[in-house]
Structure 1
Amino acid sequence: MPFIMLTVLIDMVSIGLIIPVLAPLVGTFTGSQTDQAFWYGMVSLAFGVANFFGSPVLGAASDHFGRRPVLLLGFTGLALSFFVTGLATAVWMLIAVRLVSGALQANAAVAQAYVADISAPSERAKRFGMLGATFGMGFVLGPVMGGLLGHISLHLPFFVAGGLAIVNAIYGVFVLPESLPKERRVPIDWRKANPLASLRRLGETEGIGTLVAVIGLSSLAQFILHTTWVLYTTFKFGWGPKENGWSLFAIGVMAVLVQGGLIRVAVKRMAPQRIAVIGLVSSAICYLLWGLANQGWMMYAIIVLDIFGMMVSTTLQTVVSTAVDEHSQGRTLGSVASLNSLTAVAAPVIGSFLLQLTAHFPRGDWRIGAPFYLCAALQVLATVLAIQHFRRHPSPLKPTEAEAAPT
């Protein structure tokens, strides 16, 4: 765990660095807020499309070649993306490089498969929580660094992020051990690496079924949040890179607290499916409140309230991971990543469209929160489907099993 957690930490710090400055960078190539919202959506769309087709292939490759080489490929793709983005002089360059980096990057899914390789089923909720805390720690450090560096120059965070990606690749080459033994590796079935086929199989897997729709709806809401947060707070409150960096810092702090500690307490007392349902309800309420907020400080207060919402992804990953055998972890979690990438394709189109419709409203207007109102509705629908699914497929992991896992 320490090896993969350090890898993920460096990875997420490098990604977090660019979040507060990518939308403002796109704005330097556009003439209005409406155009900025549109082209930022296109830049985000490019990554999502490429990642949708690339994730199941890379997930299957990690089941055959091992996790380590696929992670190294992802770090290389990130470094290329960051450096070229920092040197970009036009929007088309941003779109082109995001296509390349999206196709090469499946680090999150492969890291989850890595954790599944080294963890017994009863330990996975706790260890996915540790991994989630590491993701959160990356977002504690990355966005605030990106905001402060972006306050100096919008291009500077991209070069720092590229340097970190190279450091991670060097660390992977010389230090990171392989988690998948050769006897557990399987040949690549290219038909199964087809993203649409992988999603169909995921939906047909015993114990997953309609949970695919729950993951998809929740992921779509989350990606709409990610792709609209910076522009939303800019349009509604007039925030810049520094203010957005601090707000993302707050989200990261809460993610670390929840994933690193509170989720362990929760899984000792409740089964993963119950935590997921409570989290979906919590997220729906918080999305609505974010959309209605008319003062910047309210965004911070709502971040603190969304404790259970930050547990949804981890608990759903736990249920999916325990539904498949040890030989299919990479392909299955790669399929989940592909599903997430599919929602990442739709999210910027939907989010940027809603922001374009509301960009002309004055600061503080409740209608600018349209993307968040949609997110709340998606979470409500996901909650209904999750309740139906978990009634038919109770989780094999009970609270007592989680409590028995080593701490």
Structure 2
Amino acid sequence: MKQIRRQPFDLPPIFWLVTAIAFINSVSFTIVIPLLYPYAKQFGLSDFQASLLTTAFALSQFLGTPILGSLSDRLGRKSILIVSLAGTVVANMVASFATVAWLLYAARVLDGLTGGNTSVARAVISDITDASQRTKAFGIFSATFRLGFVVGPFLSYLAQQLPTFAGISSLGMSFVVSAAIASIALLLTIVFLPEKRSRRDPHSGTQKEKFRLSWHDFALGKIAKSATIPKLGQLFILTFLSGSTFTIFTFAFQPFFLNVLNQNTKRLAIMFAIVGMLGFISQVFALEPLSKRFNLINIIAVTLAIRGLTFILMPAFPTFTAFVIILSIFALVNSFPMPLIDTVLSLNTSPQKQGEVLGINAAYLSIANAIGPMISGLLVSFDYQTPLWITGGLTLLVAGFATHLKTKFDCRSKGNNSGEQTF
């Protein structure tokens, strides 16, 4: 008798709880993204000073995420996830009540330092799934997280319509709503998420040793060492290159859309929604079937190549209709590389190091998120099309680098967990 495949509901119940928490957290995060710049201007900051708010968050996340990942391996996932979400709640409340600029910077730094909840949640998923489930699990998780990027900006608009109180401005109300939503994720974690420790021996090491941090628990130490790790180091580099080229685009395409295509901010918001929705659909319905049929590295390389081509085609055909078509193609493939890189890392990492390795990878992405917009800002000073040409060419080179890795990672998620565990 033919067995009935249950997709995707054959995943463990804890997975859906963790995914729900991550979705709520992503909504909380994306609520503040559309208002960071105008909120900074209320404090009298210059354009460059306002841009440093994003850099401060990304660099702080770069420093904090590997530490939280390493501690989650020692102390358990739930406790570190609670600390991370609580940091978001406090940071957003500080930002909403801030009366001077340094408090706003302090809030972004605090949110960044405690912003490792996504990598810890991914570590939980690695703990509770086997190799045959992992690609599907990471794909759904990433897609759900991405869906928050559609809901968040809409809620940000609604939050600004709420009545203000205690001297909080209308823009500051978005931070209040963000904190409230993060509090929901925090409460769900405290009440419903069971403590999930890594598969390391729970009796190994004293309590003091579990809390002890060394140089290698910090991002700079890990970055210096992790890039040289056989095989895995090249995946970390791939994450950095992919993230940097992508964030160059995310900054550059907005002035291109507004000034070259002569569109307005309302249509720009629609473009963000289109990217979010198409990315969500492709991850849920296309990622797993493709990963079962093709080598994961091949999928990463091809999707990066298509991403690079779309960047080049946008300035080559500078019309609104062409842009919508090209952006839709971009959205369908853009959501594949990161969950697939996470999957390859997970399949080639020992169970005791899942949180640490995924935390390192998230740190590479964080530093890329800080560097990319700065590079893009310099390129935009020449004209609005140059950044797209350059990041398109660079992305094609990154796709070539990914292709090179195929000989080192023959990863097929279908029941394969025989990859050499190198870390």
Q: TM-score of the superposition, structure 2-length normalised?
A: 0.83
Once residues 181 and 388 of structure 1 are traced to their aligned partners in structure 2, the CA distance between those partners, rounded to angstroms, is 32
Letter in 2 for 1:87: F
Once residues 215 and 57 of structure 2 are traced to their aligned partners in structure 1, the CA distance between those partners, rounded to angstroms, is 23
Aligned residues: 387
Match of 1:396 among 400, 404, 411: 411
Task: Answer with 1 or 2: which has the greater Rg.
Answer: 2
Does residue 1:214 correspond to 2:238, yes or no?
yes
Kindly indicate whether the alpha-carbon contact (under 8 Å) linking 1:284 and 1:376 is maintained by their aligned counterparts in 2. yes
Q: What is aligned with 1:67?
A: 77
* SS of residue matched to 2:232: coil
Kindly indicate whether the alpha-carbon contact (under 8 Å) linking 1:75 and 1:105 is maintained by their aligned counterparts in 2. yes
Deviation of residue 107 (structure 1)? Answer: 1.3
Match of 1:56 among 50, 66, 82: 66
Letter in 1 for 2:27: V
Comparing both chains, which one has the higher relative contact order based on Cα–Cα distances under 8 Å and sequence gaps of 6 or more? 1
Q: Deviations over 1:351-381 (max 9, x none)?
A: 23333x15xxxxxxxx313333332233122
Q: Residues 83 and 294 of structure 1: is their aligned pair in 2 closer, same or farther, counting only changes over 3 Å?
A: farther
Give the unaligned 5+ runs of structure 1: 359-366, 403-407
Q: What is aligned with 1:373?
A: 389
Q: TM-score of the superposition, structure 1-length normalised?
A: 0.86
Letter in 2 for 1:198: K
Does residue 1:333 correspond to 2:358, yes or no?
yes
Letter in 2 for 1:157: S
Letter in 1 for 2:338: S
Kindly indicate whether the alpha-carbon contact (under 8 Å) linking 2:132 and 2:414 is maintained by their aligned counterparts in 1. no
Once residues 106 and 255 of structure 2 are traced to their aligned partners in structure 1, the CA distance between those partners, rounded to angstroms, is 22
Once residues 293 and 17 of structure 1 are traced to their aligned partners in structure 2, the CA distance between those partners, rounded to angstroms, is 32
Does residue 1:254 correspond to 2:278, yes or no?
yes
Q: What is aligned with 1:23?
A: 37
Q: Deviations over 1:43-90 (max 9, x none)?
A: 111112211111111111111111111111121221223223333445
Deviation of residue 250 (structure 1)? Answer: 1.6
Does residue 1:383 correspond to 2:399, yes or no?
yes
Letter in 2 for 1:245: A
Kindly indicate whether the alpha-carbon contact (under 8 Å) linking 1:56 and 1:337 is maintained by their aligned counterparts in 2. yes
Q: What is aligned with 2:125?
A: 115
Deviation of residue 386 (structure 1)? Answer: 1.3
Between 256-265 and 15-24, the greater mean CA deviation after superposition: 15-24
Q: Deviations over 1:154-210 (max 9, x none)?
A: 333222111101111111111122232575457455232121332244333343232
Once residues 230 and 14 of structure 1 are traced to their aligned partners in structure 2, the CA distance between those partners, rounded to angstroms, is 22
* SS of residue matched to 1:125: helix
Once residues 183 and 202 of structure 1 are traced to their aligned partners in structure 2, the CA distance between those partners, rounded to angstroms, is 21
Q: What is aligned with 2:182?
A: 165
Once residues 64 and 267 of structure 1 are traced to their aligned partners in structure 2, the CA distance between those partners, rounded to angstroms, is 32
Kindly indicate whether the alpha-carbon contact (under 8 Å) linking 2:37 and 2:51 is maintained by their aligned counterparts in 1. no
Q: Deviations over 1:187-245 (max 9, x none)?
A: 455232121332244333343232322211101122334455556545554533x5443
Give the unaligned 5+ runs of structure 2: 1-14, 163-169, 205-209, 418-423
Q: What is aligned with 2:111?
A: 101
* SS of residue matched to 2:352: coil
Once residues 303 and 99 of structure 2 are traced to their aligned partners in structure 1, the CA distance between those partners, rounded to angstroms, is 42
Q: What is aligned with 1:361?
A: none
Q: Residues 234 and 368 of structure 1: is their aligned pair in 2 closer, same or farther, counting only changes over 3 Å?
A: same
* SS of residue matched to 2:264: coil
Deviation of residue 118 (structure 1)? Answer: 0.7
Kindly indicate whether the alpha-carbon contact (under 8 Å) linking 2:312 and 2:389 is maintained by their aligned counterparts in 1. yes
Q: Residues 282 and 151 of structure 1: is their aligned pair in 2 closer, same or farther, counting only changes over 3 Å?
A: farther
Once residues 156 and 109 of structure 1 are traced to their aligned partners in structure 2, the CA distance between those partners, rounded to angstroms, is 28
Q: Residues 230 and 368 of structure 1: is their aligned pair in 2 closer, same or farther, counting only changes over 3 Å?
A: closer
Q: How do 1:236-255 residues align onto structure 2 when only pairs under 5 Å count? A: 236=260, 237=262, 239-240=264-265, 242-255=266-279
Letter in 1 for 2:275: I
Letter in 2 for 1:175: F
Once residues 63 and 159 of structure 2 are traced to their aligned partners in structure 1, the CA distance between those partners, rounded to angstroms, is 33
Letter in 2 for 1:86: S
Once residues 278 and 386 of structure 1 are traced to their aligned partners in structure 2, the CA distance between those partners, rounded to angstroms, is 9
Once residues 299 and 155 of structure 1 are traced to their aligned partners in structure 2, the CA distance between those partners, rounded to angstroms, is 34
Q: What is aligned with 1:364?
A: none
Match of 1:287 among 311, 318, 326: 311
Kindly indicate whether the alpha-carbon contact (under 8 Å) linking 1:23 and 1:231 is maintained by their aligned counterparts in 2. no
Letter in 1 for 2:18: I
Q: What is aligned with 1:263?
A: 287
Q: Residues 275 and 41 of structure 1: is their aligned pair in 2 closer, same or farther, counting only changes over 3 Å?
A: same
Q: Which structure shows the bigger proportion of residues in helix conformation? A: 1
Q: CA RMSD in A?
A: 2.6
Once residues 299 and 353 of structure 1 are traced to their aligned partners in structure 2, the CA distance between those partners, rounded to angstroms, is 23
* SS of residue matched to 1:180: coil
Kindly indicate whether the alpha-carbon contact (under 8 Å) linking 2:146 and 2:280 is maintained by their aligned counterparts in 1. yes
Indicate the percent of aligned positions where both proteins have the same amino acid.
23
Does residue 1:343 correspond to 2:353, yes or no?
no
Q: Residues 343 and 286 of structure 1: is their aligned pair in 2 closer, same or farther, counting only changes over 3 Å?
A: same
Q: What is aligned with 1:323?
A: 348
Letter in 1 for 2:412: L
